[in-house]
Amino acid sequence: MGFPPVMLLMCLVVGLSTCRAEGEDNQIRVTETTEEEQENHLTERVAEDTETPDQDLQTVTVEASNSGSPEKGCEPNIYMVLKELGALQERQKATVSALEETNRKLEASEKKIDVLNSSLTEMRRTYQGHQVAFSAALPKDGTIGPVNVLYPLVYKHVLSNIGGHYSPVTGYFTAPVRGIYYFSFYSFCWAGDGTSGGSLYRNENQVVSWYGYTKTAPVSGSNSAILLLQAGDMVNVRLWDGRKISDNVNKYSTFSGFLLSPM
């Protein structure tokens, strides 16, 4: 049996209303679902935002930890550098001490050098003030003696007389200062003149001598001595009793002396 048109229309209206209602419900559900999703999304965002500072803090902490690791890694190097600096300071102190010791030694050496220079200057001044030397020969072209006394020889031919302390008149040398002196003498005697001999005297004391004897050939003799004299001491050469000494223009017989060092 078929439905009448009015009933069919009513069914359509009711069905349309039902579909519209269901569509609105679905739309509300979708809206509610959307709103719930948005709320959930917002909640998750807030949670994420809430967690983000912790994460950032953790990140900073991690970065700080990571950044702290190089410092810890550098700490041994710093300690080594400080240790090396300490060693360098110790070596520097040792070097400074060595230099100071060297300076002290140099100063001591300089003082010694100054003392030596002063001594040398004083000695130079002394020698310059007491330059003493002489040399003289017998003036006779012939023979002296024999004589019956101890005869002082006078060497009148002066070769040098530095300081003027030898007398060509008396034949004596007079010491000007206390010191060490060197003296030497040489003698000559012609053949057939017999024997020759004499001595070097300090004041009245015989020091050294010479002696020669010949009948067929000339004879010569010599001697020398180093003496410590006091100022005023006198030195000369004396011919022995009964002896002879000869000379000529060649000046064989001489008497010489000089100051070695003042005392």
SS3 for the chain, per residue?
CCCCHHHHHHHHHHHHHHHHHHHHHHHHHHHHHHHHHHHHHHHHHHHHHHHHHHHHHHHHHHHHHHHHHHHHHHHHHHHHHHHHHHHHHHHHHHHHHHHHHHHHHHHHHHHHHHHHHHHHHHHHHHHHHCCCEEEEECCCCEEECCCCCCEECCCCEEEEEECCCECCCCCCEECCCCEEEEEEEEEEECCCCEEEEEEEEECCEEEEEEEEEECCCCEEEEEEEEEEECCCCEEEEEECCCCCEEECCCCCCEEEEEEEEEC
**CB contact set of 51 (below 8 Å; sequence gap of 6+):** none
Query: Do 183 and 237 form a contact (C-beta atoms < 8 A)?
Result: no
Question: What pLDDT was estimated at residue 44?
Answer: 58
Give tens-digit pLDDT for 26-70.
444 444 444 555 555 555 554 555 454 444 444 444 444 444 444
Question: What pLDDT was estimated at residue 96?
Answer: 92
Give tens-digit pLDDT for 147-189.
899 999 999 999 999 999 999 999 999 999 999 999 999 998 8
State the Cα–Cα distance between residues 79 and 198, nearest whole angstrom. 95
State the Cα–Cα distance between residues 257 and 227, nearest whole angstrom. 10
State the Cα–Cα distance between residues 222 and 164, nearest whole angstrom. 24
pLDDT at 24 over 80: no
Question: What pLDDT was estimated at residue 77?
Answer: 83
Query: Do 218 and 191 form a contact (C-beta atoms < 8 A)?
Result: yes
Question: What pLDDT was estimated at residue 78?
Answer: 87
Residue 123 pLDDT class (50, 70, 90 cuts)? confident
pTM of the model as a whole: 0.55
Give tens-digit pLDDT for 221-243.
999 999 999 999 999 999 999 89
Q: Which two tokens stand for residue 255?
A: 């008497």
Q: Options 3.40.605.10, 1.10.3210.10, 2.60.120.40, 3.30.479.10; which CATH number does 133-262 get?
A: 2.60.120.40
Residue labelled with tokens 């004083």: 122
Query: Do 257 and 223 form a contact (C-beta atoms < 8 A)?
Result: no
Query: Longest Cα pair distance anywhere in the chain, in angstroms?
Result: 216
Domain ranges in the chain are 77-130, 133-262
Question: What pLDDT was estimated at residue 76?
Answer: 59
